[in-house]
Amino acid sequence: MSAISVQNLTFAYEKQIVLEKISLQVKEKDFLAIIGPNGGGKSTLLKLILGINKIQKGTIKIFEQEPSKKLSLIGYVPQNTNINIDFPIRVIDVVLMGHVPIVNLPKKSFFKKALRWRDEGETACAMGALGQVGMEEYAYKKIGSLSGGQRQRVMIARALCAHPKILLLDEPTASIDVDGQKQIYDLLKVLNKSITIVVVTHDISVVLEYASKVAHINKKLTFHDVSYQANFQKSNGHFCEVEMMQMLGAQKGCSC
Amino acid sequence: MLEALGYQFIQNAIIAGVLVSFASGIIGSLIVVNRMVFLAGGIAHTSYGGIGLAIYFGLPLFFGASLFACAAALLMAFVTINQRDKIDLFIGLIWAVGMAVGILLVDLTPGYNVDLMSYLFGSILAVSRDDIRYISLLLGLIVVIVFLFYKELLAVSYDSEYASLRGVNVRFFYTLILVLSALTIVVAIKVVGLILVIALLTIPIYIAEKLSSSLAWMMFLSGIISTLFTLVGLTLSYLYDLTSGATIIMVSALGLTSFLVYDKLKGRQRF
C-alpha cells in the first residue's frame, strides 16, 4: 500500500502554474528526498499533502484515503523554526502541542480535558518523544534559549508526539551548522525504521547518504529510485546539484 | 493620604484599576504574542465611534462602545484573515473613520457638551458601581474562556499553521482574541483613556514576557505589574493633582526603563 499517492496534480497561484501534472508514489518506510530550485514548487507540494493549500486539479491520497481524514497520521516539521523565539514557552509545552486534538473529541470528555489542562499521559508521551530526539534534559528550558539545531529537534519531537506514520520535513537543516545537520539526518535515519520520511532539502549529499528515493521538482517532476546509489558513493564527500541532475538523467551537465 | 481611602470614588477607582489591570494583563499578553498591537490600537480609536453612538442614542456608554468596538474587531478579523497584505492600510482607515464618526455623532447630539478629554485620557475617578459590576463580569468571562481554551489559544498564538493541522479552528480563536481585546480596550479606556490604552496593553506585558517561561505566567505577571503601576500612578495623581491616566502611563514607562536597565546590568530571573 502506498503511504502517499499523488496523481496528476496541477496547482497554480493566481495564474502562475507552480506544479504541473505531478504523479508520485511513496511507499511505506521510504525515505524520499524532494530537491529542486527555489520556487520550483517543493514546499507547495508539501502544503497540498497537508491540506494547507487546497487541491485544484488531480488527487492526493494518504493510505488510500483523503488527506483530511488521515491528517493524524502525518507529522509535519515546518521550514522556519526561528519564528517567535521570544515567545514565553518551555520545550515540553511546544512538544505537547503535537497533541491538541480537538477534532471529534466527544463532548463528555471536553470539559474534563479542558479543566485538567495537562494530561499526565500526554506529558509522559511528550517526554518520550523528546527522548527519541535526545532532548529530554532540555524539557523545562525556554525554547528561545536553544540553538537552531536543538530547536529543530524539538519540532521533530512535536511531530512525533502524535505517533505519525509519515513524517514531512521542509528544509529541516536550513539554518543549522554542519554537525547539527548530520545529527538531524542520523536521527531521521533511525526514525525511518518505523516511519515513512519525506524531506524537502537543498542538501544533495543528504540524498546520497540517507534517501532511498529522490524526486526533483521544478514545476514538473523527475522521480528516481536511488537504491543504486552505491555507484555514486561520494568520492570526495562533495556533490553539487549539477552532478545530481546528471545522475537523475538530465541531458546537459557540466563539471563543478 | 489614608483618609482618601474613605471616599467612595477613590475606592471605586482602586477596585476598577485592579480589575482592568488583570483584564488587560491577560488580553494584552495575547495581543503581544500574536503581534496584534497595531490592530488593538485601531480598535481603541475606532471605539470612540461607539462612544459617540452611545451619547447620540442615549445608550449606556460601555454598551455602545463595546458594541461598536466588537463590530470593528469582527471586521478586522475578517479582513486580516482574508487579505493579509492590506492590513495596515485597512487598520489606518478604520482607525480614523471610527474616531470621525464619534466626533460627528457627539456634534449632532443636541445640547450635549461632551468632555472629549475624559475619553482621550481616561476618568478613573468617575468610575461608578455599575461600571465595576460590568468590568468584573468581563474579567470573569475572560478568565473562564482562557481557562477552558488555554491549549487552543496557546497553540494558535505560538504556531497557527501547526495548530490548524492539529484540528484547531484558527480563524475562530483569532476572532475570539480580537473580540475579547475590543471588550477589554473599552473598559481600559475608562482607566487610562483611548490614546494611552496601548501603553497599558504593552508596557507591563513586555516586562512580564521577559520574566516568564509560559503564557499563563506571562498573563498573571502582567496583571500584577499592571496593578502596581496603576495604583502607584493613582496615588501620585491624587497627591500632586495630576491627570490619572497620563500619570499611570508615566509610572509604567519609568518602570519599564528601570527594568531594562536592571536587566542589562544583571542576569535575569525567570519564573
Residues 6+ apart with CB under 8 A from B17: B124, B191, B227, B230, B231, B234
Separation of alpha carbons A160 and A99, rounded Å:
10
A213-218/A31-35 β-pairing: parallel
Maximal C-alpha separation, chain A: 65
- Supply the CATH number for residue B153's domain: 1.10.3470.10
Q: What ipTM does the predicted assembly reach? A: 0.80
Residue B270 lies in a domain: no
Torsion of CA A142, B205, B161, A210, to 10 degrees: -20
Tell me whether B85 touches chain A (CB under 8 Å).
no
Long-range contacts for B230-239 (Cβ within 8 Å, ≥24 apart)? B230/B17, B230/B18, B230/B20, B230/B21, B230/B191, B231/B14, B231/B17, B231/B18, B234/B13, B234/B14, B234/B17, B234/B124, B235/B1, B238/B1, B238/B4, B238/B10, B239/B1
Q: How far apart are the first and last CA of chain A?
A: 40
Instruction: Give the number of domains in chain B.
Output: 1
Do B203 and B68 meet the contact criterion of CB atoms below 8 Å apart? Answer: no
- Determine, yes or no, domain membership for B103: yes
**Predicted pLDDT at A220:** 79
- Compute the distance between CA of residue B191 and CA of residue A89 in angstroms, rounded to an integer: 31
Best B162, B164, B205, B207 residue to mutate vs chain A (most A CBs within 10 Å): B162
Rounded to an integer, the average pLDDT of A189-213 is 84
Q: What percent of chain A has pLDDT over 70?
A: 77
- The answer, for B176 touching chain A at a CB cutoff of 8 Å, is no
**Average confidence score pLDDT of chain B:** 89
Q: What is the pTM of this model?
A: 0.84
Q: How far apart are CA A205 and CA A187, in angstroms?
A: 16
| Residue B17: predicted pLDDT | 93
For A240, phi then psi, to 5°, come to -110, 170
For B20, the domain range is: 2-265
Look at residue B253 in the predicted model and tell me its pLDDT.
Answer: 94
- Average per-residue pLDDT for chain A: 78
Q: What is the pLDDT of residue A47?
A: 86
| Amino acid, single-letter form, for residue A170 | D
The stretch A239-246 carries a mean pLDDT of 54
How would you class B75 by CB atoms within 10 Å of its CB: exposed for 0-12, middle for 13-18, buried for 19 or more? Answer: middle
User: Residue B55's pLDDT is what?
Assistant: 87
Q: How does pLDDT run across A50-87, given as a tens digit for each residue?
A: 888 888 888 888 888 887 777 778 889 887 766 678 88
pLDDT in tens, B170-212: 999 999 999 999 999 999 988 888 878 888 999 999 999 989 9
- Cell numbers standing for residue B204: 507591563
Which of B32, B149, B158, B206 to mutate to probe the A interface, most A CBs <10 Å? B158
Residue A96 has pLDDT above 60, yes or no: yes
Which residue in A209, A201, A85, A101 sits closest to A154, CA to CA? A85
- With CB atoms and an 8 Å threshold, state whether B147 touches A115: yes
Enter the C-alpha cell of residue A230.
Answer: 552505491
Instruction: Flag whether B214 is in a domain.
Output: yes
Please tell me the CATH code under which domain A2-196+209-225 is placed: 3.40.50.300
The answer to whether B150 contacts chain A (CB < 8 Å) is: yes
B121 pLDDT more than 70: yes
pLDDT at B96 over 80: yes
Chain A partners of B217 at a C-beta cutoff of 8 Å?
Answer: 88
Predicted local distance difference test score (pLDDT) of residue A109: 57
Q: Which residues of A touch B169 (CB under 8 A)?
A: 102
Separation of alpha carbons A132 and B52, rounded Å? 60
pLDDT bin (cut points 50, 70, 90) of residue A250 is very low
For residues A163-186, average pLDDT: 84
The residue in chain B having the minimum alpha-carbon distance to the alpha carbon of residue A158 is B162
